[in-house]
Amino acid sequence: MIAGRRLEFRTERPTQFLDLTGQLQELVTDAGLLNGRIHLQSLHTTLGLTVNENEPLLLADFESTLERLVPTAAEYLHDDFERRQNVPADEPANGHAHNRMLLLHPSHTALVEDGRLVLGRWQSIFAVELDGPRERRLALQLEGDFAAAATSPRPAGDLVELELARQLLVDSDPVGKPMRRLVEAGGKRLRPHLVMLASRLGPAHDELRAAVLAAAVELIHAATLVHDDYVDDSAVRRGRPTVAAAEGPARAIAVGDYYFAKATRLIAELGNPEVTLTIAEAIEAVCFSQIDDFELRGRYPGDHSDYMKVVRGKTAALIAGACAAGAQLSGASETVVERMRRYGDLMGIAFQMADDLLDYSPSTGKPAGQDIRMKVVSLPLIYASEDREVGPEVRTLLDGSLADDDVRRVADLVLRSGAIGRVRDEAKDLALAAVRELEPLDLDGVRAPLEELALGAVNRNS
Amino acid sequence: MSLAAPPPKELAGIELLWEDRLSRAYDGYPAAADYRVRLAAALVEVAVDLQALGGPAAGPADLLAGDLCLARASRLLADAGDQALQISFARAVETVSGSAAAGRPVPEISGLLRQALEERS
């Protein structure tokens, strides 16, 4: 059997290495491909593919090599618009990008065994942007033996998307339009995915009711993002202007409130008091830690205990709530509910630690140094600030206002301190602990995706 | 200070708000109602006020305090286990925030909440 897919993403700059390994593994898992191949093909003449090691300094070497071999400033006939015919009005001078493409590949095939991409320890699959920023697409074909239940692409995920679209369709434009823009821009849908998986663990499994809960949980998450973006003064999320930036802060506050209320109503209408209470407690924990996070900025970067307090509430609480509530909706036993709650808590913390690391990887969609610039609570910064060698300079720099050079210097110091490795190891340990929570349970076909999600949470590139 | 204040655990993190204005709002709702329902109503009222729905944008600190009030109210109603009130309180916030987003006059939230309580009793 063959299944076709498209992978769409936005690049931010020329000569950007985007590590696609995590997303491709997720696609393979979602499609249920057990043994076979995944074929990738770039649909552009200045976006190549390659397999190599995701190590920031090595990627900088590659960039220098491309520049040395095919200099940007050299003369290219392709850039002589007077001699070329039918040149579009917005044609960029990108002869160097097309020539660099000769050094890369337009397609790649990766093997899949037992549901996993077959890659060496240091191998990552990269898309290489030679001429960004651009909207880019890869065509994918998955070929081989698929798990019987997964022959259509994430059927449960499709149900959630339909439910989200349905809920947003009935709302008036002043609230619905900005939220549709945010929701349709994508996102990982981690929380709804967990609700749907957990909802299969009890005897009263009902996919349609689970999709309502999953969509409501995603709307709560989106509502917190709308308010967060205003608090953080962020202009862009998921490649689009934030609600606060596009509509103004007053409307952003109202939109966040509207969807917070609507989502809690949708959950109440499900008529399961345990689910309602679980999600209500999770939201309260999120709001508590948002205040902690805001107050912590006065004594930035804080310590490990501050970090755990904020992250356990701000990120992990709703993930744990999604896991527990999904199980409760299906009438799962108290043991299953509690183990799913702990799984979500551990995975949520690991997920946030991995997110912190994206700030130090030039190959992700996240602008490098953003957490440093915004003074967001971040474990690599905490560890670097405690380091005997670089700590004093990190703390001095973080005490002041940060110019671009300061942000780069802090990032360099963090990389030198060994903080990245410490955080990566800690995140992996938490993900493994999350998996161990599931071991005693009879998970009826959802063990593999739950394990995949936990382990994938620490192997992120977006 | 309200004569019959809710248990301290329900005021955790919002003690200053209780002293400032929450206790007054609490006293404004029927004493016969479950304290969790009264406090939930007062929290929603104070949240809408803190977040200045229908007016110029609140600052980040007030926004976050308002979010905590809404979340606490939601949890109190879930604790009280009254599904009808959970739904009608949520609808009241939807009405107010929807009007604010549309630039329409914002109805008094306390009126909507009292109406919900009357319909319930």
Provide residues of B within 8 Å CB-CB of chain A.
Answer: 13, 51-53, 55-58, 60-61, 63-65, 67-68, 70-72, 74-75, 77-79, 81, 83, 86-87, 90-91, 93-94, 96-98, 100-103
pLDDT, tens only, B61-113: 999 999 999 999 999 999 998 999 999 999 999 999 999 999 999 999 999 99
CATH class of B8-120: mainly alpha
Which residue intervals of chain A bear CATH 2.60.120.460?
Answer: 2-150
Q: Are A128 and A104 in contact (CB under 8 A)?
A: yes
Q: Are A32 and A141 in contact (CB under 8 A)?
A: no
The whole-number pLDDT of residue A40 equals 95
From first to last of the 462 residues of chain A, give the pLDDT tens digit: 667 788 888 888 889 999 999 888 888 887 778 889 999 999 999 999 999 998 888 999 999 999 999 999 999 999 998 888 888 877 889 999 999 999 999 999 999 987 889 998 889 999 999 998 888 989 898 988 877 544 444 556 789 999 999 999 999 999 999 999 999 887 889 999 999 999 999 999 999 999 999 999 999 999 999 999 999 888 888 778 899 999 999 999 999 999 999 999 999 999 999 999 999 999 999 999 999 888 887 677 889 999 999 999 999 999 999 999 999 999 999 999 999 999 999 999 999 999 899 888 765 555 567 778 877 889 999 999 999 999 999 999 988 888 888 888 998 999 999 899 999 999 999 999 999 999 999 886 899 899 999 998 887 665
**Record: contact A258-B70, CB cut-off 8 A:** no
Nearest alpha-carbon partner for A395 in A263, A255, A299: A299
Q: Are strands A236-237 and A16-19 parallel, antiparallel or unpaired?
A: unpaired
Q: Where are the beta strands (DSSP E) in A205-289?
A: 236-237, 240-241
Give the whole-angstrom CA distance, residue A48 versus residue A106: 5
Q: Are A280 and A220 in contact (CB under 8 A)?
A: no
Give a three-class secondary structure readout of chain B: CCCCCCCHHHHCCCHHHHHHHHHHHHHCCCCCCCHHHHHHHHHHHHHHHHCCCCCCCCCHHHHHHHHHHHHHHHHHHHHHCCHHHHHHHHHHHHHHHHHHHHCCCCCCHHHHHHHHHHHHC
Domain made up of A155-457: CATH architecture: Orthogonal Bundle (1.10)
* Residue A139: strand pairing partners: A6, A41
Give the whole-angstrom CA distance, residue A225 versus residue A228: 5
Instruction: Give domain limits for chain B.
Output: 8-120
A251 reaches B (C-beta below 8 A)? yes
The dihedrals phi and psi of A109, each to the nearest 5 degrees, come to -120, 130
What ipTM was assigned to the predicted interfaces of this complex? 0.96
* Residue A7: strand pairing partners: A138
Nearest alpha-carbon partner for A329 in A192, A206, A445: A206
For the question of whether the overall pTM of this predicted structure is more than 0.80, the answer is: no
Angle (CA) A344 A349 A351, round 5°: 90
**Record: contact A258-B94, CB cut-off 8 A:** yes
CA distances to A256, A263, A265, B54, B111 from B107, rounded to whole Å, are 18, 21, 19, 9, 8
**Record: contact B51-A253, CB cut-off 8 A:** yes
The whole-number pLDDT of residue A461 equals 61
A254 reaches B (C-beta below 8 A)? yes
Which residue intervals of chain A bear CATH 1.10.600.10?
Answer: 155-457
Residue B20 has pLDDT above 80, yes or no: yes
* CB contacts, 8 Å: A252 with chain B: 57
CB atoms closer than 10 angstroms to residue A148: 8
Q: How far is B119 from chain A (nearest CA, A)?
A: 18
Q: Are B76 and B47 in contact (CB under 8 A)?
A: no
From B72, which residue of chain A is nearest by alpha-carbon distance? A284
* CB contacts, 8 Å: B78 with chain A: 273, 276-277, 280-281
CA distances to A37, B29, B106 from A2, rounded to whole Å, are 10, 63, 55
Q: Are strands A236-237 and A240-241 parallel, antiparallel or unpaired?
A: antiparallel
CA distances to A153, A448, B14 from A148, rounded to whole Å, are 12, 14, 53
**Record: contact B93-A253, CB cut-off 8 A:** no
Select A2-150's CATH number: 2.40.110.10, 2.60.120.460, 3.30.470.20, 1.10.10.10.
Answer: 2.60.120.460
* CB contacts, 8 Å: B86 with chain A: 264-265, 268, 276
Residue A197 exposed, middle or buried by CB count within 10 Å (0-12, 13-18, 19+): buried
**Record: contact A271-B77, CB cut-off 8 A:** no
Q: Are A434 and A339 in contact (CB under 8 A)?
A: no
Give the whole-angstrom CA distance, residue A154 versus residue A452: 15
Q: How long is chain A?
A: 462
**Record: contact B57-A253, CB cut-off 8 A:** yes
